[in-house]
Amino acid sequence: MVDITIKKRSQTDAVVTQRKFFKKTARGKVIKVLRERYLRDDVPCGIQDCQACQGPGMLPSAGESAHPSFSTGHFVLPDTNVFLSQMDLMESNLFSPPTILLQTVLDEVRHRSLPLYNRLKALAKADDKRIWIFYNEYRSETAIIREEGETPNDRNDRGIRKATSWYQSHLPRGRSASPSHQPKVVLLTDDAANRRKAEAEGLAASSVRRYVEGMKDATQLLDVLVSVGDDAIEPTRAVAARSALYSEYLPTATVLAGVKSGQLHQGHFNANAYNYLEGSVNVPAFAKPILLVGRENMNRAVNGDVVAVEVFDETEWKAPADEVIDQESTLKNDDAEDSEEEGEGEEVLGQEKKALRSDEKARPPSEKQPTGRVVGIIKRNWRAYVCHIDTASLSTTLPTSLSQQTVFATPVSRLLPRIRLRTRQAPQLLAQKILVTIDRWPATARYPEGHFVRALGRAESKDAEQESLLLEFDVPYRPFGRAILACLPVEGEGWVVPPKSAAAPEWRDREDLRGLTICSIDPPGCQDIDDALHARQLPNGNIEAGVHIADVSHFVLPDNPMDSEAAARGTTVYLVDKRIDMLPSLLGTNLCSLRPHVERLAFSVIWELSPDAEIVNVRFTKSVIASKAAFTYDEAQLRKDDVHMRDELTQSIRLLNSLAIKLKAGRMAAGALNLASPEVKIHLDSSESSDPIEVEQKELRETNSLVEEFMLLANISVAKKIQDTFPQTAVLRRHLPPPRTNFEKLQDILKKRKGMTLDVSSSGALAASLDKCIDPKEPAFNTLVRIMATRCMLSAEYFCSGSVSRDTFGHYGLATPIYTHFTSPIRRYADVLAHRQLAASIAHAPLHPSLHSKSHVERVLDVVNRRHRMAQMAGRASVEFYVGLALKARGEREQGLVQEEAFVIRTFRNGLNVFVFKLGIEGLVMFKREIKFDVDNYTVTIPAELTGKSDATIAVFDKVTVNIEIEKDKNTQRGKVKMTLAKPVDSRNL
């Protein structure tokens, strides 16, 4: 029998191996948590060929010797603040010293900033970086406990220094070099006190700036550094002496208490694309958004920030501006260096106040809404922004100049303020797209201060424009890493569904549907075919119809690297000439794509329907299918319409179409909305050049509606099933009814300009009203009204069923009480989650524990909702960019201005907003001369003395002809669409 000796641990050891902290519960109760920490002495250091550890390693044994200050080699060990404030530097391709990342640092970053923590995790896995995560909290020689009276920050700093000291003493034991040739471990910190303590303990320590200054690529890397502490952009004497331009923010505790008591209101700050001196915040307490007028009241808020707002007395409430106030033209003479000449800054402020005062005359009292000011920032939305250098802000444009200049970076988005930054590369960066991050915005500065991250390429070059578009909308586009690709089937392209047998796991609990006449109907060139359909007549007179969806969840297993990456990406992003996939292409375009004549795994929803399309029953099953054909919408339409074709596939399509017509009629009768959005098709020169040659409106056919109706039916059926099975965590999608105030402007315009009434009391009433908005003289008028009505709607969103009340589950636009997304798992992560829940609900596979957690599902869906919105905006921006290229090419071919018909959709005191139907784009027609503006009747009148004839009155909904040209901006060197009126008047001289 084996002798077992039990030794009692000493009290001092117990203290080191136990972690104690206090936690506040949701009900406000404070509890003490005691956790046991098991220490060990075999946690590897990560250095290659270390004789002392003999564990895995990826850091070179001699470190990095290229830095002049550490010629014998070195490793860097950054503290937490380096990753919190200098992440752009750490991610730079020019910065790649062997790096030791401590567990203490990783945990502290996670607690301080989840977005930065996610970036840090991705950085640690990057193939082009040499980063080793050292679990110092679990190594017996480096684990520490917090001492009496020591702050958590001081405890972490001491732990970082102890780990640095351990590494420095560990290196000689791990390699046989002489002491004079041993590499150093350099503590990288911008905390001066921490540096002094480290140096007093005999450790090598350096500030980030001092370390970077000694590097080979110092010129480029110094621009990437965040302006913090003593390194911030130095104000001139005039600025330093100037009083604050903005009010200081209230303390965080005061802000939170004010929001809780209802004295302050919390919401997202939305900048105005037409007027940079105006913003708004939507809050539940008011039907209309809170209006913020002027820089002082917006108080340094940036679009997307979560802000706390103080509402003014009702006597100060105002209506939104009816004038376009452009930042670039108003501030074109402002100086980035904040010139010390007396009164220059005041001149700009005076211009802004004049613009605000002049607009007050045109504001009708009937449109007043609450006004207020930002008194605190609850959460910043700052990130890297795509910008260009303002040529006028440079003190010298000599390409050989390496002097540091303070310049303006103007963001591509009109919703963002100009950013002030210091750079030595300003002349080289002219006419380039660059990435800039905001660092801070002091109360004494008119503009936020930031730093240069990297150049993207020349403006107007296709590669630079596409990358800047992805960055602008925060679309993850990095290639899939090794760990993700390792999750794919080892057979790769050679994977096939194995022969049917009881032993094959792929066939477990699957129906063999290979004999069914199944086909897919998709847009031309579709490679990721994730849905297919079938229909057949049953002996009892009913019809069997089935929707078969690619079984993505068979390949994407919960909580592995591929699943985590798909959750982070949220959706596939479709641009005009490329696709940014959510999943590796092996799955999306091959193994999960329901190609014709290939056996594929599927998840099927099969209904028995009456001839009137009423559901008799529905069942859900995992299946194996073999699609018989892959049609485009046009091919399926031609096949359906050809009376000579009577084969089984054609009969199936006709059967599906007859059911789809009845399903749609039922939805419309229930109050579903038939809305519209401007969709155009861009014809490319070739797949290789991707040059656009023509733009046309997309034509929708009956077969489009066929597919749509059955996808909707499948989504509704799945939603009911997973909600019944998992009432607390079902992944659903809803579309909340829009506030009636959203339609007030459109209702007033329709009534005054067309004598039409828009009833918004319900989705059914709105649908009926939209059907009546018809102008016999203008067939496109109804579509235009539907587009404008769509913009009054709220966005649909994914949600966790246990997180909201049951009466808010409904989808307003579809007029259904419950809905989800199930039919596109190749390109939407929400669908993958729905597949897992449906599989568990039919007892095919147990549900992963994470999908039993309401908080986990909420977190995942927050990301998915954001990614979905960004993907939509990126797709629209890509279309706009290619429309611009097509217009430019067309203008060159026709050797003149391109003219198109457009509809006026908004009037301003100094311009018109028009919509060009054929191209699916909007544009501003600006008037520099004084015109008459009737705010109540939505008209502008150009007086006879300007037209040379009689007065010309233009109103909302009027059809006009516009000149469209691509004008090269002298400042950005980038082409932008410029519109002027051609008819009823030529506005080029107005």
Are 676 and 783 contacting, i.e. CB atoms less than 8 angstroms apart? yes
pLDDT band, very low/low/confident/very high, at 690 (cuts 50, 70, 90): low
If you average pLDDT over residues 695-706, what whole number do you get?
A: 77
Q: Give the residues across from 419 on adjacent strands.
A: 409
pLDDT at 831 over 90: yes
pLDDT band, very low/low/confident/very high, at 236 (cuts 50, 70, 90): very low
If you average pLDDT over residues 929-952, what whole number do you get?
A: 84
CA separation for the pair 245, 669 (Å, rounded): 57
Give the CATH number of the domain where residue 978 resides. Answer: 2.40.50.140
Give the CATH number of the domain where residue 299 resides. Answer: 2.40.50.690
If you average pLDDT over residues 663-691, what whole number do you get?
A: 73
If you average pLDDT over residues 5-9, what whole number do you get?
A: 51
- 765, part of any domain: no
- Can you list the alpha helix ranges (DSSP code H) found in 175-294? 192-200, 208-213, 218-224, 237-241, 252-261
Do 147 and 295 belong together in one domain?
no
pLDDT band, very low/low/confident/very high, at 502 (cuts 50, 70, 90): confident
Extended beta strands in 501-596, E state: 510-512, 519-522, 531-537, 543-550, 573-574, 579-580
Predicted pLDDT at 798: 96
Predicted pLDDT at 431: 81
Predicted pLDDT at 340: 37
* Long-range contacts of the stretch 789-792 (C-beta < 8 A, 24+): 789/675, 789/743, 789/746, 789/758, 790/675, 790/676, 790/677, 792/738, 792/742, 792/743, 792/746
Predicted pLDDT at 347: 56
Predicted pLDDT at 481: 87
**Contacting residues for 357 by C-beta, under 8 A, at least 6 apart:** none
Give the CATH number of the domain where residue 165 resides. Answer: 3.40.50.1010
pLDDT at 867 over 80: yes
- 301, part of any domain: yes
Helix (H, G, I), strand (E, B) or coil at 768: helix
Which helix (H) or strand (E) segment is 608 a member of? Answer: strand 599-609
The pLDDT mean for the chain works out to 85
Predicted pLDDT at 244: 78
Among residues 458, 483, 515, the one where a domain terminates is: 458
- 565, part of any domain: no
Predicted pLDDT at 242: 54
Predicted pLDDT at 691: 59
Residue 943: phi and psi, rounded to 5, are: -65, 160
If you average pLDDT over residues 226-242, what whole number do you get?
A: 49
For 56, counting Cβ atoms within 10 Å of its Cβ (0-12 exposed, 13-18 middle, 19+ buried), the class is exposed
Q: Give the residues across from 433 on adjacent strands.
A: 457
Amino acid identity at 569: R
For 524, counting Cβ atoms within 10 Å of its Cβ (0-12 exposed, 13-18 middle, 19+ buried), the class is exposed
Do 159 and 252 belong together in one domain?
no
pLDDT at 349 over 70: no
- 380, part of any domain: yes
- 610, part of any domain: no
In the chain, % of residues over pLDDT 70: 86
pLDDT at 361 over 70: no
Do 318 and 174 belong together in one domain?
no
Nearest alpha carbon to residue 330 among 303, 350, 344: 350
If you average pLDDT over residues 342-346, what whole number do you get?
A: 48
CA separation for the pair 33, 22 (Å, rounded): 6
Nearest alpha carbon to residue 839 among 602, 590, 618, 662: 602
Predicted pLDDT at 98: 94
CA separation for the pair 274, 830 (Å, rounded): 35
Total domain count, the chain: 3
Read off the DSSP letter of residue 20.
E
- 96, part of any domain: yes
- 333, part of any domain: yes
Q: How far is CA 985 from the centre of its chain?
A: 41
Among residues 441, 458, 475, the one where a domain terminates is: 458
Q: How far is CA 145 from the centre of its chain?
A: 40
pLDDT at 639 over 70: yes
pLDDT band, very low/low/confident/very high, at 352 (cuts 50, 70, 90): low
In the chain, % of residues over pLDDT 90: 43
Q: How far apart are the first and last CA of the chain?
A: 103
Tens digits of per-residue pLDDT, 879-916? Answer: 888 888 888 777 777 766 788 889 999 998 888 999 98
Quote the tokens at residue 339: 């010139």
If you average pLDDT over residues 942-952, what whole number do you get?
A: 81
Are 290 and 280 contacting, i.e. CB atoms less than 8 angstroms apart? yes
Read off the DSSP letter of residue 812.
T
Are 604 and 494 contacting, i.e. CB atoms less than 8 angstroms apart? no
Do 282 and 190 belong together in one domain?
no
pLDDT at 358 over 60: no
Give the CA distances from residue 30 to residues 20, 24, 25, 146, 566, in Å, rounded to whole numbers and listed in that order: 13, 4, 6, 20, 38
Do 423 and 283 belong together in one domain?
yes
pLDDT band, very low/low/confident/very high, at 394 (cuts 50, 70, 90): confident
Tens digits of per-residue pLDDT, 784-808? Answer: 898 899 888 889 999 999 999 999 9
Do 194 and 259 belong together in one domain?
no
**Sheet with 939-942, edge to edge strand ranges:** 932-934, 939-942, 952-955
- 195, part of any domain: yes
Helix (H, G, I), strand (E, B) or coil at 978: strand
pLDDT at 171 over 90: no
Do 195 and 249 belong together in one domain?
no
Which helix (H) or strand (E) segment is 157 a member of? Answer: helix 152-174
**Contacting residues for 878 by C-beta, under 8 A, at least 6 apart:** 466, 469, 575, 576, 577
CA separation for the pair 460, 454 (Å, rounded): 17
Do 202 and 249 belong together in one domain?
no
Q: How far is CA 638 from the centre of its chain?
A: 39
Helix (H, G, I), strand (E, B) or coil at 186: strand
pLDDT band, very low/low/confident/very high, at 217 (cuts 50, 70, 90): confident
CA separation for the pair 409, 419 (Å, rounded): 5
Sign of CA pseudo-dihedral 41, 45, 46, 51:
negative
Domain span at residue 443? 244-337+361-458
The model carries a pTM of 0.83
If you average pLDDT over residues 97-111, what whole number do you get?
A: 93
Among residues 207, 232, 254, the one where a domain terminates is: 207
Angle at 318 between CA 317 and CA 321, to 5 degrees: 155
Do 156 and 203 belong together in one domain?
yes
Tens digits of per-residue pLDDT, 720-778? Answer: 999 999 999 999 999 999 988 889 889 999 999 989 999 988 888 898 899 889 888 88
Predicted pLDDT at 975: 65
Are 373 and 299 contacting, i.e. CB atoms less than 8 angstroms apart? yes
Check whether the bond before 411 is cis (ω within 30° of 0): no
Are 935 and 694 contacting, i.e. CB atoms less than 8 angstroms apart? no
Do 167 and 266 belong together in one domain?
no
Give one DSSP letter per residue of 433-502, joined into a string: EEEEEEEE--TT-SS-EEEEEEEEEETT-HHHHHHHHHHHTT---PPPPHHHHTTS-TTGGG--PPPS-T
pLDDT at 232 over 70: no
pLDDT at 229 over 70: no
Q: Which of 125-129, 360-364, 587-591 has the highest mean pLDDT?
A: 587-591
Do 423 and 291 belong together in one domain?
yes
pLDDT at 413 over 60: yes
Do 164 and 279 belong together in one domain?
no
pLDDT band, very low/low/confident/very high, at 356 (cuts 50, 70, 90): low
Predicted pLDDT at 21: 65
If you average pLDDT over residues 369-390, what whole number do you get?
A: 90
Nearest alpha carbon to residue 733 among 564, 542, 864: 864
Written in H, E and C, the secondary structure of 388-442 is EECHHHCCCCCCCCCCCEEEEEEECCCCCCCEEEEECCHHHHCCEEEEEEEEECC
Q: Which of 118-132, 181-195, 817-831 has the highest mean pLDDT?
A: 817-831
pLDDT band, very low/low/confident/very high, at 921 (cuts 50, 70, 90): confident
